[in-house]
Amino acid sequence: MKHFIITAVGEDRPGIVAGITKVLYEMGFNIEDSAMTRLNNEFAVMLIVSTEEEISEDTLKEKFSNVEKEKNLLINIRKIPEEIYREKEERGEVYNIIVYGGDKPGIVYKVAKLLADRNINISDLRTEKTPDIYVLIAQVEFPENLNLEDLQQEIEKLKDELNIDISIEKVESVEM
């Protein structure tokens, strides 16, 4: 099985998803994983697709040239080496981190750096802002040997430094 990652961005309008997935459908590709969302007035598509066919990045790119022009998109395609592709999985303990406060430079950077310095992996992150409030919501994976007390102390420091609120909650699901 060959896997590719396809990204496409362009001004939001109806038919972007249909245009892109039509090409994939007609070539018999599978969509293995995807995130498609609107950011402001831009629509962004990220897809992991798979096929049994031998096909190069360039040939695949060529197949998208019509929809790229028609919908005024910027499409990027990259082959994922087989040794890197793996089934979607969560690694380590999963936590939600919610950060909010008045908008100021460096909220995302400083929170992300705090996480990166402790080898905490971000699996999902989004931000929202209004004129008054900046909100960051992330799902992260804690490594096994993480010192929670140490992390909590660093978070308290960052809260004071930026005058923001940060809460961390373990994601627990209940089998019903």
The contact set with another protein (CB under 8 A) reads 87-91, 94, 124, 126, 171-176
CB crowding 10-37: b at 16 or more within 10 Å, else e: beeeeebeebbbebbeeeebeebeeeee
Instruction: Provide the minimum distance between the beta carbon of 83 and another protein in the complex, in angstroms, as a whole number.
Output: 15
Q: Which is nearer to another protein, 94 or 151 (CB)?
A: 94
Distance of CA 104 to the CA centre of its chain: 23
Instruction: Provide the minimum distance between the beta carbon of 94 and another protein in the complex, in angstroms, as a whole number.
Output: 7
Q: Which is nearer to another protein, 64 or 142 (CB)?
A: 142
For residue 119, give the 3-state DSSP assignment: coil
Q: Which is nearer to another protein, 148 or 171 (CB)?
A: 171
Instruction: Provide the minimum distance between the beta carbon of 37 and another protein in the complex, in angstroms, as a whole number.
Output: 8
For residue 131, give the 3-state DSSP assignment: coil
Instruction: Provide the minimum distance between the beta carbon of 77 and another protein in the complex, in angstroms, as a whole number.
Output: 24
Of 100, 114, 96, nearest to 153 (Cα)?
114
